[in-house]
Amino acid sequence: MDRVTKRIGLLDHVGGGNLGDDATQTAVIQNIKTRWPHAQIAGFSINPSDTRKRHGIPSYAIRRRTWGFGPIAGDGSLGADASEPGKGTVSTGAKLRSALRKHPFLLGVLRLVNLVAIRAPRGLVAELVFLFKSFWVLRSFDLLVISGGGQLLDSWGGPWAFPYTIWKWIFLAKMARLRRVFLNVGAGPLKHPLSIFFVKRALRFADYISFRDEKSRTLIQQIGFSGKSKVVTDNVYCLEIPRYAISGLGRAGNSIVGISPMAYCDPRVYWKKDQRLYDCFIRKLAVFGSALIGSGYRIALFMSDINFDRQAIEDLKNALETEIDVAHRSWVAVERVDTTDTLLSKMSLMDYVVTCRFHGVVFAHLLNKPILALSHHSKVATLMNDIGLSEYCVDMDSFEADSLLNTFRLLVANGESIKGRLAAALARYRGELASQFDDLFPRATPAVTCRDSQSDEKLEGAGRA
């Protein structure tokens, strides 16, 4: 860029408990501050209070309705901070609705009148006020960076959630004459025509665009965007991490396998609701975990999404306890985490990682742990292929416990060569990200490659592999 940016806004749908999203924000803040130490950084998030607490920066809401921890059934979004007033009591309105249900035609007419004459105009006015206030905030900034991974999608909330939010902020930033950057974002799924409309126009307003994988860029090109873009890996790969105590390897019968389930198709929280599929997924993981314990491994259950996957952890723990005898129940530990640092510290004590989430793979990769991934989305399979571990990636819908166990045994047998591949890929990714940040945020001193306190020993291992 041709001038030093004094005030930078980082926009991400962050604040719902996904530690991968939080790590993305941390990594971008770290790498900007390394190059521009006097830059003033603010967050634009879906949960401003959580962003302020976790990252220590001012934060502004990107929607009128913000997120808090806890799902709202039926709409695929997260609950607002405010609690529901009068919970547990029957209001007059509830009594009236109950009476009107006996007259469905009249109830339908009243609902239509309420929507057209009251709710829609009121919502439009509120949105216009929000847009004006947001524009006023943006006028004091120099640069807006959209830095989250999965930002260009409509599976959560449809076109008026992520796509509209991204478009309106890019449009407001353009009107406020800010530079606009999409930094290594992921894309897909995008199904609704209105979602495609919003995303294409948002990208056309951008000054710089990079995607975190080629598949995301291909999807965007397929929906009709032909502008210039780059492919650079996920921002979390440039996260600065401290040296953690590495668990002793080769302990006969006591190696630790970290297993991270997710709330895949769980009707309580997931956008795709299928109780049978969720129950089957948990049951197969429990059979797999029981077989590992029978082979002498200890199990550490952990999550990289501390909101959505919390119940999945409990469900898997309960299912495991039905598969194993009482004497071995102490071999199953549930790792409680609430920050990225805590999660990485816990994962550093694991010997192998079995994970369902994209950033679960990234975190294990940062720590040079052999990874077995269960892919619920093409982004997971794409990443495992990119880091040379496609043979250790299985499909979430079709895997069986026996085949998963066989894949794990292969992972163990090839553990040392896998670590060499991981170290080499990590060094490459960090180099790519360092060059990208140097181009976007040029500094007076010579560039230094992204690294952490474990980089040297990982590179040595890669050289020997």
Average pLDDT along the chain, 465 residues, taken 10 residues at a time: 71 93 97 95 96 96 80 32 37 58 59 58 85 96 92 92 96 96 96 96 98 96 97 97 57 81 93 93 97 96 94 96 89 94 95 97 97 95 96 96 97 97 97 98 65 46 38
Question: Tokens standing for 181?
Answer: 């950057």
Topology agreement, domain 7-82+139-232 and domain 256-420: yes
Length of the chain: 465
Question: Tokens standing for 189?
Answer: 């799924």
Looking at residue 148, what is its pLDDT?
80
Residue type (1 letter), 8 = I
Instruction: Tell me the residue ranges of DSSP E strands in 212-350.
Output: 230-231, 256-260, 298-301, 332-334
At residue 215, the 3 state secondary structure works out as helix
> How far is the C-alpha of 331 from the C-alpha of 320, rounded, in Å?
11
> How far is the C-alpha of 241 from the C-alpha of 224, rounded, in Å?
39
Domain locations in the chain as residue ranges: 7-82+139-232, 95-125, 256-420
| Cα 305 to chain centroid, rounded | 8
Looking at residue 169, what is its pLDDT?
98
> How far is the C-alpha of 308 from the C-alpha of 296, rounded, in Å?
30
Contact between 201 and 364 (Cβ < 8 Å):
no
Looking at residue 108, what is its pLDDT?
61
Looking at residue 94, what is its pLDDT?
61
Annotation: CATH topology of 7-82+139-232:
Rossmann fold (3.40.50)
Looking at residue 317, what is its pLDDT?
96
Question: Tokens standing for 245?
Answer: 């105590």
Q: What's the pLDDT tens digit per position in 78-96?
A: 333 333 333 334 455 565 5
Contact between 128 and 244 (Cβ < 8 Å):
no
> How far is the C-alpha of 381 from the C-alpha of 393, rounded, in Å?
6
CB within 8 Å of 69: residues ≥ 6 apart? 16, 17, 78, 79, 307
Q: DSSP assignment, residue 119?
A: I
Contact between 264 and 270 (Cβ < 8 Å):
yes
To which residue do tokens 């609430």 refer?
Answer: 338
Helices (H), 7-46: 19-35
> How far is the C-alpha of 101 from the C-alpha of 106, rounded, in Å?
9
Annotation: CATH topology of 256-420:
Rossmann fold (3.40.50)
> How far is the C-alpha of 332 from the C-alpha of 335, rounded, in Å?
10
Looking at residue 242, what is its pLDDT?
79
CB within 8 Å of 459: residues ≥ 6 apart? 423, 427
Torsion sign over Cα 237, 240, 246, 247: negative
At residue 334, the 3 state secondary structure works out as strand
